[in-house]
Structure 1
Amino acid sequence: MLLNTIELGPENDDLSQPPVVFLHGLFGRARNFGFFQRRIAATRRTLALDLRNHGASPHGPMDYPTLAADVCETLAAHNALPATVVGHSMGGKTAMMLALSFPAEVHSLMVVDIAPGEGGFSQSHELARKLADLPLPDFLDRAGADAWLGQVIPEKSVRDLMLMNLDLGERPRWNIGLREIVASMPVIIGWPDLQPGIHYDGPTLFVAGGRSHYIQPDNYPAMRRLFPHYRLETIPDAGHWVHAQAPQAFLTALEHFLRVA
């Protein structure tokens, strides 16, 4: 499946440097990384992708091998392989699966606040189900949509995220594959069984939010087994949405990784 892609870069791209690819998390979209993409695009070719069932990409059943295959196919179509891949949450699991499945196509890997294993998305499954069951009214403007979402989402920041996934006005509708996401949540929360010995030898940075629980010490053995050259960096003042909650610290970590990877 070819995915919707936002591509930015300098006029005279340095072809000796791999492109930088951004993969968003659950219920997100390519432009979630817009600030960072614009900064990196001053000197490097960048691509931000809408994963399947998100943004303007097509819909369909999803699991991590399928998501990784979508990304690989899309980057190949853009002549953007091998690439440095940056993924947050569900996008981080997709990035890890891409590196493990197609290691020659991943120059280096940055995984943001997610681990290779069961877990994460602790509230997302129930939220997705509630949203799918919430009847859409005949008309929604932004204020009305905020109030409508407030029936199941108390947090303003989460409502703002979900508002991006609604087409407002007369006959409002979800522009994401919400039913497909609900059906896929068990495998999105999980992690595939992998063949013994599979691993990715490239430079790998895990970035954790200091106030998040998505990366725990009991994840470290799997991280070392699958990504033997990984480093872990913690941004103390951030929760799960590291890049949104501590943008300057995240940008510093990203720019340093791109220099040394």
Structure 2
Amino acid sequence: MKLHYKQQGTGYPVLLIHGLFGSLSNLGILAKHLLENDYQVISVDALNHGFSPRSESMNYQTQANSIKDLCDQLAIEQCAIVGHSMGGKVAMATAQLYPDLVSAIVVADIAPVAYQHNHQAVFSGLNSFDVATVTSRSEADQLLAHYINEPSVRQFLLKSLIKAENGWTWLFDVQRLSRCYHNIIDWEPLGVFNQPCLFIKGQNSDYIVSQQQLSTVQQFPKAELKVITASGHWLHAEKPATFNRLTERFLGTHI
């Protein structure tokens, strides 16, 4: 399966992988920052997202294999990977499965552990109406608001709402994501990655907690942790200057 991607620049390759319900544009501010610092940036649409292939499997071995296939396609022998949330797990899985390919990873607000279901309201909202029948983005927002209270979450989802020939459609595959959700929140270690790793936590987010430290260090012995104050799970969008600076400084030190 050939992932959809956007390749820019000519320096050391850095792959950027978005989170659940996102697309390759989500880390666009970081992409611009890295390009200004002479990196080659490959922004990726994950499986069942954006314009990448649809799949009935989203376990992390499958997703890591899709990243390896993309690197082979682009003749990339070694790279760094930055991933947010689900994309962070894809980065970790790829590093564990293909340590010769990956020189370093930056993981934004996710840990190498299994999580409990916490997207029920989002799926309920997405499944509550036929998106092809809505007449505007604002109408879709009103329909989602019956299930999703947070305007920021609705706005994030609406970034993936586009108008096609036959009406509005989501860039992500709602039904396949729902069927694959147990894979997305799950985690089974695929090895030990002994190269540099930076975990960046949003101070107000509960996706990385102290109880996960032992599991993280067992799988990533060289893991470092940074915390961005006054930020939540979407730390790269809430505090982009800080997130970009931490990421670029880490990459500049370790690759």
Q: TM-score range by the shorter chain?
A: over 0.9
SS in 2 for 1:20: strand
CA distance in 2, matches of 1:137, 1:184: 23
For the residues of structure 2 that align with 1:102 and 1:21, how far apart are their CA atoms? 14
Provide Cα deviations, 1:83-124, integer angstroms capped at 9, x if missing partner: 11000100001100000011111010111110001116x522
- Indicate conservation of the 8 Å contact 1:85/1:95, yes or no: yes
Residue in structure 2 matching 1:56, options 51, 59, 74: 51
| Equivalent position of 1:19 in the other structure | 13
Check conservation: 1:125, 1:182, Cα contact below 8 A: no
Aligned pairs (5 A) from 1:203-214 = 203-214=196-207
| 2:25 maps to 1:31 | yes
Partner of 1:179: 175
> Which residue of structure 2 lines up, in the alignment, with residue 118 of structure 1?
114
* Cα distance, 1:125–1:192 mapped onto 2, change above 3 Å: farther
Q: Which moved more, 1:162-171 or 1:218-227?
A: 162-171
| Separation of aligned partners in 1, 2:168 and 2:14 | 35
Q: Structure 1 residues 118 and 98 mapped into 2: Cα distance closer, same or farther (>3 Å)?
A: same
2:152: which partner in 1? 157
2:120 and 2:55 mapped to 1: Cα distance? 17
Partner of 2:93: 97
Residue 142 of structure 1 contacts residue 168 of structure 1 at CA under 8 Å; is this kept in 2? Answer: no
From 243, 252, 255, the counterpart of 2:245: 252
Task: Decide whether aligned partners of structure 1 residues 180 and 210 sit closer, same or farther in structure 2, where only a CA change above 3 A counts.
Answer: same
Alpha-carbon shift at residue 23 of structure 1 (Å): 0.5
Deviation at 1:125, TM superposition (A): 3.9
Q: 1:41 to 1:137 in 2, by over 3 A?
A: closer
**Shift in alpha-carbon separation, 1:133–1:141, aligned structure 2, 3 A:** closer
Deviation at 1:137, TM superposition (A): 5.8
Q: How many residues align?
A: 251
Matched, 1:238 2:231: yes
Please say if residues 124 and 147 of structure 2, whose CA atoms lie closer than 8 Å, have aligned partners that are also in contact.
no
C-alpha distance in 2 between matches for 1:111 and 1:66 = 19
Once the 2 structures are TM-superposed, how far is the Cα of residue 222 of structure 1 from its aligned partner? 1.1
Q: Is the 8 A contact 1:205 1:230 kept in 2?
A: yes
Identify the residue that residue 7 of structure 1 maps to in structure 2.
Answer: 7
Q: Identify which of 127, 135, 139 aligns with 1:132.
A: 127
One of 199, 209, 226 as aligned partner of 2:192: 199
The alpha-carbon deviation at position 127 of structure 1 amounts to 1.8
> What stretches of structure 1 move > 6 A for 4+ residues in a row?
none
TM-score normalised by L of structure 2: 0.92
Tell me the distance in 1 between the aligned counterparts of 2:122 and 2:3. 25
Give the superposition deviation at 1:74.
Answer: 0.9
What displacement does 1:177 show?
Answer: 1.3
Q: Measure, in 2, the Cα distance between the counterparts of 1:151 and 1:132.
A: 12
Report the Cα offset of residue 27 of structure 1.
Answer: 0.4
Matched, 1:46 2:46: no
Q: 1:154-201, CA deviations, whole angstroms, 9 ceiling, x for partnerless residues?
A: 22211112112223376333332111100011121111254xxx3001
- Structural RMSD (CA): 1.7
> Which of residues 67, 73, 79 is equivalent to 1:71?
67
Does the 8 Å contact 2:3/2:47 carry over to 1?
Answer: yes
1:85 maps to which residue? 81
CA distance in 2, matches of 1:77, 1:193: 26
Query: Quick one: which amino acid aligns to residue 82 of structure 1?
Result: Q
Equivalent of residue 227 in structure 1, options 200, 203, 220: 220
